[in-house]
Amino acid sequence: MPIGYYFILSGLMFTIGLTGVMLRRNAIVLFMCVELMLNSVNLTLAAAARMWGGPDGQVFVFFVIVVAAAEVVVGLALIVNLFFRRGTIDVDVPQLLRF
């Protein structure tokens, strides 16, 4: 299988995740879309590792997974906090930084 197909696949998945971020207002779904994007990047890294025949890409996948775990923990805590304070998880509601 030519390695380019993996790249194309992960690119499409990344685009889907991005479109999801744009479309949805639910913070949890937003997070799931971000996870999609992260996974597509993981796929790219793994494919690149195979392409170059080296360990670096795999190591990076490993680190991305670690960071993603941390990010999810903090992000979900934020969502819980937001829900307790605002009674909603609509990301359009907190607009304190609005002009």
Which residues 38-97 are close enough to bind another protein by CB under 8 A? 39, 42-43, 46-47, 49-56, 58-59, 61-63, 65-74, 76-81, 83-97
Question: Rounded CA gap, 79 and 91, in Å?
Answer: 9
Minimum Å distance from CB 34 to another protein?
A: 10
DSSP state of 28: H
1 Cα distance to chain centroid: 26
β-bridge partners, 26? 90
Interface with another protein, residue 20, by CB under 8 A? yes
Q: 47, 1 in Cβ contact below 8 A?
A: no
Minimum Å distance from CB 41 to another protein?
A: 11
Minimum Å distance from CB 65 to another protein?
A: 5
